[in-house]
Chains A and B, each alone.
Chain A
């Protein structure tokens, strides 16, 4: 791919041109049968122009003429003058030059991928008798973007991730179907995903044990409880509960966080950061060195020892809020414009041990796996819980039927009284906000008070 030079001479404002290719592969095997075996490649050129206070955007498929797309975007921006004159603060003029392409293991052939999946299915069937169904889904996506902006950015960025979902289904004592999912995600391609029996036997054994426990699960008691959230949930808590309300476009849209900078929104134990590309010396799963507006990406510290510090910004939201852009403007597909999105959002580890955190609960719940989540401008959040246990007298008890965790993020985070000293990152699923987006989430175990759905 080659990037067109965004012609600043065309307009008095800002321009960007992006050559964007998105490749995906999806393979779904249900009980050994291949239900889906598909790959897609979407490529195109987009341009966005900011002129006289309005935006114009255009996108065309394939290797279209970048200048022509830019001209169309420019015309669209000027056509917005029908709504009257509009002036705003000038956009920040940051720029970046560089190339960032992940070098993983050499790609596997389609046959290799299918053989690995077939072997995994056979392993599960042989090792875990009595399952009603084994579903295996492989997902791989590779985003390549070449960007040029009128501020001088010339950048090539590549993000790759691969996922495997292992879904076991059986039935409970009442004969109803129940399921558990083990998501395995890595940076890179299927080749970087270790699906060997040696590696997966232990986590799949644990999932099978949890599924057997879930056959006898009891309903959660609805209401406010002390909950210990395993690391996999803490990442979701970071993303949904305070991540979205700290996206600057959501802030400008009326989120309650707008008035809380410098104020306490969590206990002293909570520090939360949206990392750009590295944490603790290691490159993260979704490394963003430069965003899709050509702004150099930097970490956005959202909460520092319980105090709200700032937001994630694009060029435009930074101008409106009088802040510095954080390089958080990201576009999912070739026909999408950049929006403020998270990258690698995490609550940082503390000093407690998970076992001690459980022992310290007289009556409560251990929440171990989540299915999905949603956020709100009010900071009220929820996420689905599909694996949980009761805690009685500091000991883990019966499994709990699928439930939902919710609360006001600020109220919940203020009750955090223990944060574990470990850290788990994952990049499964998508964040949804007008466009989907690949993000990663990380966190330690967290103990807090929150609402569980139930009778």
Chain B
């Protein structure tokens, strides 16, 4: 397979767009290669190699915008796509907020650049051996060990040139434990790493804890009575809280004026224990934004104070808020000062929540959902697994009500998160 020259492909597309009459343009060429070994029903099942390449085009003419993406990179297909893009843009309403990046430069090479099927096979076999030896009731319904290499080159008519070559290992598993006719809830764990061989497979991403805890969940019991108490969120459950916050400070809510935080920069919106910052060099993450900006390190929360919103270039020009580019992933909550064991001991009555199964929170943050992979905490001790327990609360108030942050964290690549103890959730 001849190597695709991403810069040449992006440059050719950019020139064709400008020749077509676009005043401003952005072209992005992308090549992704995946090597993946799959687990199904506790055994290795499938080996795959996939390759995709895409060309993403964005053009502006008279303040009118359109975008397209194609996988056929032949000259005829590209010319047809550019012509169709021009027609799309011509029919769009003019909007002075439309723009493309200018003067941005990045050249990022990061992570393992070559797949290694032997390493992937060793990880799969190691995980299956651990399951058979330590958690035999666990059925790994599916799982995978993988290597991805994603290369991109993005050019704009404003002179931006952003290239990346990001390699990463991946490991994940999910399933449920079974004991006779009793089964645990479905659970899973996984993430991306620069060094998969650094530790046994079960030591990555909380996989061992997930499998051991699933076995303890085959005999769950419902709550005896409604109560209001503390919740301890595992890192996987903290993700829901952070994704809600990120939605609140991003384009759609800012443009639609439905964000709770549009006017709260500089104010405390969360517990003083919370510090949320970027790590755009995390495994599998490239420090560039979708609208072709390099993404410097960023602090969202410091001591609970909101430092910034994150509108894109378009969102910024639409709302008048400062433009703050962010990468597609790579976020971290700083470790706290409380060891996890002490954090749990501090809970008189509450629930350790593995994950929430819930509807989308309302724009105001109200939510209710079923707590999954979860255990009752009584008198500081983690007790029996729970079934059919619902929690109700409000995301904004949960951010404010963080009472403790664990020393320990799980690093999945996209997220590096601790356990959080939060007060005042209602359980039924």
Interface residues of B in 356-382 (CB under 8 A from A): 357-364, 366-370, 372
> What residues on A are CB-neighbors of B255 within 8 Å?
30-31, 33, 35
Residues in chain B near residue A36, CB distance under 8 A? 67
Given A38-B69, A376-B357: A404 touches B362 (CB 8 Å cut-off):
no
A293 an interface residue at 8 Å Cβ cutoff? Answer: no
> A56 at interface (Cβ–Cβ under 8 A)?
yes
A454 to B366, CA, bound (A): 10
A80: which of B47, B93, B358, B388 is its contact (CB, 8 Å)?
Answer: B47
* A37-B65, A177-B364 given; A132·B257 CB < 8 A: yes
| A358–B184 alpha-carbon span in the complex (Å) | 36
Residues facing A in B372-410 (CB within 8 A) are 372, 387-388, 390-392
Query: Per-residue CB proximity of A223-264 to B under 8 Å, as 1/0?
Result: 100000000000000000000000001101111100100000
Closest chain A CB from B10 CB (angstroms): 16
Q: Is B358 within 8 A of A56, CB to CB?
A: no
Q: How far is the CB of B40 from chain A (nearest CB, A)?
A: 8
Asked if A378 contacts B185 (CB within 8 A), the reply is yes
Determine the chain B residues whose CB is within 8 A of the CB of A434 once the complex forms.
142
In residues 340-387 of chain A, which contact B (Cβ within 8 Å)?
Answer: 370-372, 374, 376-378, 380, 382-386
Contact B388 A253 (CB under 8 A): no
Number of interface residues of A (CB under 8 A): 93
Residues of A125-142 whose CB lies within 8 A of B: 132-133, 135
Cβ of A451 under 8 Å from chain B? yes
Contact of A253 with B139 in the complex, beta carbons under 8 Å: yes
Within 8 Å CB of B181, what residues of A? 256, 259
Q: Does A77 contact B (CB under 8 A)?
A: yes
B49 to A: closest C-beta gap in Å: 5
Contact A38 B47, beta carbon cutoff 8 Å: no
Q: Is B50 an interface residue (CB 8 A)?
A: yes
- Assuming the contacts A61-B52, A406-B370, asked whether A55 and B46 have C-beta atoms less than 8 A apart, the reply is yes
Q: Could you give, for residues 17-53 of chain B, a 1 whenever the CB lies within 8 Å of some chain A CB and a 0 otherwise?
A: 0000000000000000010001011011111111111
Do residues B391 and A249 form an inter-chain contact, with CB atoms below 8 A?
A: no
- In the complex, what residues of B have CB within 8 A of residue A33's CB? 93, 95, 97, 255, 318
> A378 — which chain B residues lie within 8 A by C-beta?
176, 183-186, 387
Q: Which residues of chain B are near A256, meaning CB under 8 Å?
A: 181-183
Q: Is the CB of B258 within 8 A of A406?
A: no
Contact: B359 with A177, CB < 8 Å? Answer: no
- CB of A430 to closest CB in B, whole Å: 14
Measured between beta carbons, the chain B residues less than 8 angstroms from A34 are 65, 92-93, 95
Given contacts A36-B67, A376-B186, contact A177 B258 (CB under 8 A): yes
- Residue pairs across A and B with CB atoms within 8 Å: the count is 281
Partner of A76, one of B48, B74, B366: B48
Contact: A40 with B68, CB < 8 Å? Answer: yes
**Which chain A residues border B175 with CB–CB below 8 Å?**
253-254
Report the minimum CB–CB distance from B269 to chain A (whole Å): 15
Contacts of A56 in B (CB 8 A): 46-48
Complexed CA–CA distance, A112 and B90 (Å): 11
B162-177: CB near A (< 8 Å → 1, else 0) gives: 0000000000000111
Closest-by-CB residue of A relative to B251 is A35
* Given A401-B362, A404-B370: A337 touches B390 (CB 8 Å cut-off): no
Are A86 and B370 in contact, CB atoms less than 8 angstroms apart? no
In the bound complex, residues from chain A placing their C-beta under 8 Å from that of B224 are none
Q: Is the CB of A63 within 8 A of B72?
A: yes
Question: Which residues 84-125 of B sit at the A interface, judged by CB distance below 8 A?
Answer: 84, 87-93, 95, 97, 117, 121, 125
Closest to B217 in A: A378
Contacts A253-B139, A378-B185; is A453 near B93 (CB within 8 Å)?
no
Complex CA gap A135/B121 in Å reads: 48
Find the residue from B226, B358, B359 having the highest chain A CB count within 10 A: B359
Residue of B72, B184, B186, B257 contacting most chain A CB atoms (<10 Å): B186
Interchain CB contact under 8 A, A35 and B314: yes
Is A222's CB under 8 angstroms from B428's CB? yes
Contact of B69 among A41, A177, A386 (CB under 8 A): A41
State whether the Cβ of B66 lies closer than 8 Å to any Cβ in chain A: yes
- The A100-118 residues at the B interface (CB cut-off 8 A) are 109-115, 118
Cα A172 to Cα B68 in complex, Å, equals 38
Q: Is B141 an interface residue (CB 8 A)?
A: yes
Residues from chain A with Cβ under 8 Å of B183 in the complex: 254-256, 377-378
28 A-B residue contacts at CB 8 Å? A31-B255, A37-B67, A38-B66, A38-B67, A39-B67, A39-B84, A43-B72, A44-B71, A58-B48, A58-B49, A58-B50, A61-B52, A61-B54, A61-B71, A114-B92, A178-B363, A179-B258, A222-B392, A222-B426, A223-B226, A223-B428, A253-B41, A256-B181, A256-B182, A377-B176, A378-B183, A403-B368, A455-B392
Instruction: List chain B positions with a Cβ less than 8 A from chain A.
Output: 1, 34, 38, 40-41, 43-54, 65-74, 81, 84, 87-93, 95, 97, 117, 121, 125, 139, 141-142, 175-178, 181-186, 226, 251-252, 255-258, 260, 314, 318, 357-364, 366-370, 372, 387-388, 390-392, 426, 428
